[in-house]
Amino acid sequence: MKTRKLGSAGPDVPVICLGGNVFGWTLDEPASFRVLDAAFDAGLRFIDTADVYSRWAPGHTGGESETILGKWFARSGKRKNVILATKVGMDLGDGKKGLKAGYIRQAVEASLERLQTDAIDLYQAHQDDKQTPLEETLAAFSKLVQQGKVRFIGASNYSGARLSEALETSRKNGLASYVSLQPHYNLVERQPFETELLPVVTEYNIGVIPYFSLAAGFLTGKYRSPQDAEKPARGGMVKKYMNDWGFSVVAALDEVAKAAGSTSARVALAWLLAQPGVTAPIASATSEKHVSDLAAAAELRLDAASIEKLNHVSTAQATPTAV
């Protein structure tokens, strides 16, 4: 598996990141272990999760994904061969949310325990906390780096202005600095990243690991009609793409995939890998077949004409209209 530098100060990481949100949610523990084993064997050794996964599921409280990952590390002995990323800051209930120093100290200990590890490779602010001074948050992260509990820190769901402010806060105060950004970015969600965030990540040379790289499965081609969005776990998340514009993007993916002897999912990820600033798209897998698609996407190189075709069709409508 090829690797890329996670920004100027970060580690080398595989060019595809395995999303851990499905572990303990749409995948039970045995199925999660099978996917993790297959991913490791395929060279997918960069895994992203969060303490909040999967609090949204009935009966869940958060931490389910981290717990399964911890059990897999203990069973497999492969922790040292995996780059592990998790996140802090989303609401876990009972006042457990945000990026205040005291809460970060509490949350990291809980994540370390669930993950059954001594250190997290990439610890990320899951979303901006405007109620907490950036200097307080970054000082807390710096302390974790100094203690060896965290190797690097990253940001997710920050605006361009706040990301720039955070990076400058670290520089001016000699604090640990975000080496990566995790934004919502894919073929059907382009404008916010490309207009607001790309200039910042380019200026500061930090890595980009986009989430929802396959638009909750829409870009795999499995949603061909509004009826297709009624059953799957993420059906409600793709309804806004179920229109002529969205289906035209899927059709273009089909055409490029056919010409390349590939699949729509692989092409969508390969398009992301070809975009300026992108280090490693995040994508989940719920089967060994999905794992094969992710691994193959890392090897797929699209020609200029294919990239232009996808660029053109995906910018034909700036904001998708829901059916």
Residues noted as catalytic = 53
Cis bond before residue 292 (omega within 30° of 0): no
The distance from CA 170 to its chain's CA centroid, rounded to whole angstroms, is: 23
* Strand order through the sheet with 17-19: 207-208, 178-182, 150-156, 120-125, 83-88, 46-48, 17-19, 282-283
Residue 144: C-alpha distances to residues 82, 96, 101, 171, 192 (Å): 20, 19, 10, 17, 31
Give the three-class secondary structure for 124: strand
Question: Phi and psi of 102, rounded to 5°?
Answer: -60, -40
Residues β-bridged to residue 211: 184
Cis peptide before 156, with omega less than 30 degrees from 0? no
Cβ 229 vs Cβ 22: under 8 Å: no
DSSP lists the bridge partners of residue 186 as: 189
Task: Give the CA count within 13 Å in the CB-facing half-sphere of 15.
Answer: 21
**CA proximity to 117, closest of 157, 76, 146:** 76
For residue 36 the two structure tokens come to: 């993790």
Give the Å distances, CA to CA, from 288 to 38, 40, 99, 202.
6, 11, 36, 35
